[in-house]
Chain A
Amino acid sequence: MRSSRFDATVLTLGFAFLYIPIIILVVYSFNASKLVTVWGGFSLQWYKTMWSNQGLMDAAWVTARVGVISATIGTVLGTLAALSLVRFARFPGRMLFSGMIYAPLVMPEVITGLSMLLLFVAVGIDRGFWTVIIAHTTFTMCYVAIVVQSRLLTFDQSLEEAALDLGCPPVKTFFKITLPLILPAVIAGWMLAFTLSLDDLVIASFTTGPGATTLPIKIYSQVRLGVTPEINAICTILIGLVTIGVIITSITTKQAEMRRIRDEHVAARGTT
């Protein structure tokens, strides 16, 4: 197809709209000048100061731990929710349950955060590291449930029946057959949950307490005092991590696809 000048323009504008802010952020992280808006030559000094900024590093460490722990718990719970939604087609209150799984997706974060806060206050839990984890688990598990559910819908249940039939008890069947086959979806769900947790400012700021400042909260509070190039540096690192993640995922998918095509050729040759 011949691409018209119009198409090219629209494409350029679209991508520019999406990526110029990010490019500016990345470029200014290498700025030698202390002023964010004035280019003073190339330098890596902000990466160095960032590294020695204890507050920022602590926040990054908290965020990483919150992300890993809440994504892991959320993935376990979300996978279980997806299993029960797909497998037990008829149980009382199924509609209500599936509706309730999706609700946090559309619920304004402020409300989720506030209700969490009220709960923790009412129960009398001291807010801090674990309350952020609980809050993040509750909203990330919905996303995991949806990702895993879509995989389970196309899962041939006779595979599990075959395992049972061959003498494998149900729990073992889950770990030997079901889990290995839905693992890609479970991992995708975990990554999504981790990213969402990493990214969250609103819910975390409602539920956090002293000593558990996450990176988004830290960045946000620093920016209020003025943007420093250090922030640009840490954001650039975050962008880099996410990009690497995306590239690895797409390469593995591509390889799996190539392997599948190769297998089909092998099967076609081996028909005799």
Chain B
Amino acid sequence: MAKSLGPVKRKFSPWTDPSAVPFIRFENITKRFGTFTAVDNLTLDIYEREFFSLLGPSGCGKTTLMRMLAGFEEPTEGRILLQGKDISGVPPYRRPTNMMFQSYALFPHMTVEKNIAFGLEQDSLPKGEIATRVEEMLKLVKLEQFAKRKPNQLSGGQRQRVALARSLAKRPKVLLLDEPLGALDKKLREETQFELMDLQTKLGLTFLIVTHDQEEAMTVSDRIAVMDKGLIMQVATPAEIYEAPNSRYVADFIGDINILEGTVASTDSALGAPGRVRIDCGDIAVSVEQECPAVAGDKVAFAVRPEKVRISPDQPAGTSVNAVYGEVWDIGYLGDFSVFLVKLADGRVVRAAQANVSRLVDRPITFGDMVWLTWPLDAGLVLTR
């Protein structure tokens, strides 16, 4: 029997409900440092109990945005609303947010216990209550037997859990996590991701996480905001971001994707009316079923994920739509998947990923083989941005 994982996760999508009131609202936020614009006229809503990720490369403004919510930076323009109240000018020590720092920032001269109690002591809670809360937190992160240790007597994973316990001890309305798992090794990181999600559901808090690790963002988040150069490129659920990226940037940033530049040859589609779009990409023509505002002659990009491309040594029967022919140029064996790099006649490379479902294959595809790549009409995407 499978181990019980607790109650079934609920469907959660307040952002689709027009009557839902955002918990946190960034309203036309701009932040400049001297002549450098870190965040550029950005508007973003985050809902209560949401696990929200800010994802982007370093320098995209995601950390600045989080620090503005924590109160360490003041926006140059715009305002931040928390539960409808403008929190501009409120110092960090009076904000109902708590942050888990990338470096963990544990106080080295205090024991684990004292670290966790620090925030509670600032609220001048009675001693007994502080002790109860600290114990509760230690239990939550499974560090009961380490209460009397100093941070430098702990391993990296334990320090991370102390930092988490400390930031949760005050039961903040919003927990901010700045690259929380960056310092952990891969295995521990994956475990911790699921622990974080569990904790968030259990405590019913709003989590805002900053990360540059797309896998991490995909795993933990309800929604992701992909950022670049101080702008938000797309805000959507992990599945939407992956399956329906709105731009070349997002498509390329999240996961692996084939992008072929081309021109719209003909289209039956318009905004609000899905239809077939035909695109000329050099020697090859591709077709996509999609809702797309582009008209014939527009420069667009065609994109398709490698795992949606089927690879076969035989010419596919019937259709000649979305079928290209090329030579296997390189193979990446990843265990669960193999990635084939196929070179087309014009020199472009298209990637196809195949799940290794059986241990032995009769006719394995190998270097130098001529192969057909095919994909269904709804597998690809037209990117206009």
The listed residue (B98, B106, B107, B123) touching A165 by CB distance below 8 A is B98
- The verdict on A159 contacting chain B, using a C-beta distance below 8 Å, is yes
Say yes or no: A166-B155 contact (C-beta < 8 A), given A156-B103, A177-B107.
no
The listed residue (A156, A158, A163) touching B118 by CB distance below 8 A is A163
Q: Give B114-155 as 1s and 0s: 1 = Cβ < 8 Å from A's Cβ atoms.
A: 000011001100000000000000000000001001101111
Of residues 80 to 118 in B, which have CB atoms within 8 Å of A's CB atoms?
91-95, 97-99, 101-103, 105-109, 118
Identity of the chain B residue whose Cβ is nearest the Cβ of A156 in the assembled complex: B103
Stretch from A112-120, A203-211, A262-270 contacting the other chain: A262-270
- The verdict on B157 contacting chain A, using a C-beta distance below 8 Å, is yes
The listed residue (B95, B103, B107, B152) touching A260 by CB distance below 8 A is B152
Chain B residue numbers with a CB within 8 Å of A162 are 99, 101, 105-107, 166
The listed residue (B108, B122, B149) touching A181 by CB distance below 8 A is B108
Q: Are B92 and A264 in contact (CB under 8 A)?
A: no
Chain B residue numbers with a CB within 8 Å of A164 are 71-72, 91-93
Q: Are A166 and B170 in contact (CB under 8 A)?
A: yes
- The verdict on B158 contacting chain A, using a C-beta distance below 8 Å, is yes
Chain B interface extent, by class: 35 or more
Q: Are B119 and A166 in contact (CB under 8 A)?
A: yes
Say yes or no: A168-B93 contact (C-beta < 8 A), given A158-B103, A260-B152.
yes
- The verdict on A4 contacting chain B, using a C-beta distance below 8 Å, is no
Q: Quote the shortest CB–CB distance from A87 to chain B (angstroms).
A: 13
Q: Are A263 and B150 in contact (CB under 8 A)?
A: yes
Q: Quote the shortest CB–CB distance from B45 to chain A (angstroms).
A: 23
CA–CA, A260 and B108, complex, Å: 12
Q: Are B105 and A158 in contact (CB under 8 A)?
A: yes
CA–CA, A169 and B158, complex, Å: 28
Say yes or no: A181-B109 contact (C-beta < 8 A), given A158-B101, A165-B99, A166-B98.
yes
Q: Are B93 and A268 in contact (CB under 8 A)?
A: no
The listed residue (B71, B119, B123, B154) touching A267 by CB distance below 8 A is B154
Q: Are A267 and B153 in contact (CB under 8 A)?
A: yes
A interface residues, Cβ below 8 angstroms from B = 156, 158-159, 161-170, 177, 180-181, 260, 263-264, 266-268, 270-271
Having A165-B98, A167-B170, one finds 9 other A-B pairs with CB under 8 Å, namely A161-B105, A162-B107, A164-B93, A165-B97, A166-B122, A166-B167, A166-B170, A167-B94, A271-B158
**6 sampled A-B residue pairs with Cβ under 8 A:** A158-B103, A164-B71, A164-B91, A169-B91, A260-B152, A270-B149
